[in-house]
Amino acid sequence: MARFSSSHHSFITFLSFILVLFLEGVAAATFTFINRCDHTVWPGILANPGSPNLESTGFELKKGSSRSFQGPTGWSGRFWGRTGCNFDDSGHGSCATGDCGSGQVECNGAGVTPPATLAEFTLGSGSQDFYDVSLVNGYNLPLTVEGHGGSGECATTGCVTNLNKKCPSELRIDGGGCKSACDAFGKPEYCCNGAYNSPAACKPSMYSEMFKSACPRSYSYAFDDASSTFTCTGADYTITFCPSGPSLKSLKEAGTTVESGLDHDPMKAAAMASQWLANLATGDSPRIQPFSPTHFGFAVTIFLVLSLFL
């Protein structure tokens, strides 16, 4: 009888172990989407090659609503918000920004049409998750990512500034979106391809510096890893469109600690240099930046200091 009880106990323990492994593989994280915009957003979801599709690849998210999905261990992919969508009763239509080209509410494996703000994830297998918010494909909506219940850094990241209101004219699109310099001009030095396909060769442009100043925790160009990729272990994640509250405050405070090569008001400096930047991108301008008020003040200060020793 004792032998039977011992065997029975061992069998139950084994089944419990298998069940735990199974459950860990099935649900590594819960993704919750929240829409705090004053309009409907249609999130798009694209799994990377080798990762399964989630429960949906695209859906409608009305103002003030939320929806959650389970992500399996090892899953990697990206999320974004589509705006200005017009779908008929059968779910067919298109969107003004972030359209995935499927002609339907569901993206069905189709990727995003830039510009669009992206949230990117790789879920670890019993180890760290990696996540970021990227402006490499441009911007269309404020978006944040927050980790809950995990261990490690688990920092909130995202872009809470409305770049559509401050986008240089040469990057702006109808319907509310701001292109990246790569998508706008297609040059290797902006796209970090060809001879510029390395961190040493591809440096931040004036445009990516503008994005970085406005959204310091977001990817501003292809090799912007150091300050833009975050990790967490065993967390669930909230993706918020048009965020407000504590996450908004923390990201704005983070922006005050990030240095930039732009003027004190980066958007003002970008606007002042907008025409010069457009000409530079197309090769019609010398590669010397226009002299901003900050540069002028700095030059005057240097001149006065030097004059004391002459």
pLDDT on residue 74: 95
Angle between helices 206-214 and 274-281 (to 10 degrees): 130
- Reading the block at residue 308, the tokens are 């004391």
Q: For position 76, what pLDDT does the model report? A: 97
Closest CA to 126 of 56, 269, 25, 38: 25
Q: What is the pTM of this model?
A: 0.75
Residues of the chain with pLDDT under 50: 1-4, 8-9, 11-25, 255-306, 308-309
> What is residue 52's DSSP assignment?
P
Q: Tokens 């915009």 — which residue? A: 37
Q: Do residues 200 and 192 touch, judged by C-beta distance below 8 A?
A: no
C-alpha distances (whole Å) from 304 to each of 134, 209, 296, 308 are 43, 30, 12, 7
Q: What is the pLDDT of residues 126-144, one digit of tens each?
A: 689 999 999 999 999 999 9
pLDDT number for residue 201: 97
Q: What is the pLDDT of residue 150?
A: 93
Residue-wise pLDDT for 147-157, tens only, equals 999 999 999 99
In the chain, the amino acid numbered 247 is: S
Ordered domains of the chain (ranges, CATH): 20-307 (2.60.110.10)
Q: pLDDT per residue over 78-102, tens digit each? A: 999 999 999 999 989 999 999 999 9
What per-residue confidence (pLDDT) applies to 13? 44
Q: Which amino acid is at 69?
A: F
